[in-house]
């Protein structure tokens, strides 16, 4: 149960209220917190099967939120959030390391440490009204995404969207295993999109049962019609 990671702490007293996000010796991402001075700590965790991961811990007023992602993940996943009341306006931010054995050293190695004044929030994961929030599950290196919505097409879209903000030129690659469709207009694949608005320009490469094979869908201007070209790749 050696631990290392990020911590926001009310004071340096050993009983102080805090919110912490750790990678543990058992390869868990674990949020641990003490809501009130002197109270027992609580925790929430998920298995990562690796020690190589990105951690992000945010404070927004009295709300503390933990996020993680492995080196293979495109975006962060939210682990937990808790309400913790600090008694004052000042607090400590740092990197805690414990071997879990008194007198024995644990070694933590990391990089890209930064403390920012703006609060991180997960990217918008639903475009338009979908009727049901997107679900993302990761296991054994495979990402499974379940999403609703009326579709991608016409002048507005409605779908689930796992995304990350970029600028400049990019190359976007993924291995698509399966689209378990609900109907012939179900779609899934890759999308580069100008914004989270339902009618924004985009270029997408999607598998679509109705069109057959892979299809490039695109909207050239905001509010414009969606156009398409079928690539002619079938499984």
- Cα–Cα dist 132/112, whole Å: 36
Q: What is the mean pLDDT of residues 189-204?
A: 95
What confidence tens digit (pLDDT) does each residue in 118-141 have?
Answer: 777 776 678 998 988 888 777 777
6: nearest Cα among 20, 18, 16, 17: 20
* Ordered DSSP codes for 94-135: E--EE-SSTT-------------SSPP-PPP-EES--SS--E
Q: What is the mean pLDDT of residues 216-226?
A: 95
- At residue 77, the pLDDT reads 87
- Cα–Cα dist 190/205, whole Å: 5
Q: Residue 235 pLDDT more than 70?
A: no
- Cα–Cα dist 223/71, whole Å: 36
Lowest-confidence region among 45-54, 57-66, 72-81, 118-127: 118-127
């Amino acid at each position: 149960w050696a631990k290392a990671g990020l911590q926001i702490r009310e004071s340096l007293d050993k009983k102080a209220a805090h919110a912490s996000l750790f990678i543990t010796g058992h390869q868990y991402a674990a949020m641990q917190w003490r809501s009130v001075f002197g109270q027992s700590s609580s925790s929430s965790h998920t298995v990562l099967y690796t020690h190589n991961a990105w951690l992000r811990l945010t404070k927004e007023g009295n709300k503390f939120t933990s996020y993680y992602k492995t080196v293979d993940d495109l975006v962060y996943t939210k682990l937990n959030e808790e309400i913790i009341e600090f008694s004052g306006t000042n607090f400590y931010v740092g990197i805690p390391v414990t071997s879990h054995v008194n007198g024995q050293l644990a070694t933590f190695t990391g990089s890209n440490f930064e403390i920012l004044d703006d609060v991180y929030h997960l990217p918008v994961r639903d475009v338009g009204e979908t009727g049901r929030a997107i679900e993302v599950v990761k296991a054994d290196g495979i990402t499974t995404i379940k999403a609703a919505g009326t579709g991608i097409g016409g002048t507005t879209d409605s779908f689930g969207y796992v995304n990350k903000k970029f600028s400049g030129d990019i190359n976007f690659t993924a291995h698509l295993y399966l689209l378990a469709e609900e109907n012939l207009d179900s779609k899934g694949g890759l999308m580069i999109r100008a914004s989270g608005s339902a009618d924004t320009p985009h270029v997408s490469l999607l598998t679509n049962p109705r069109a057959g094979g892979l299809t490039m869908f695109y909207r050239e201007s905001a509010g414009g019609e969606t156009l398409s070209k079928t690539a002619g790749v079938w499984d």
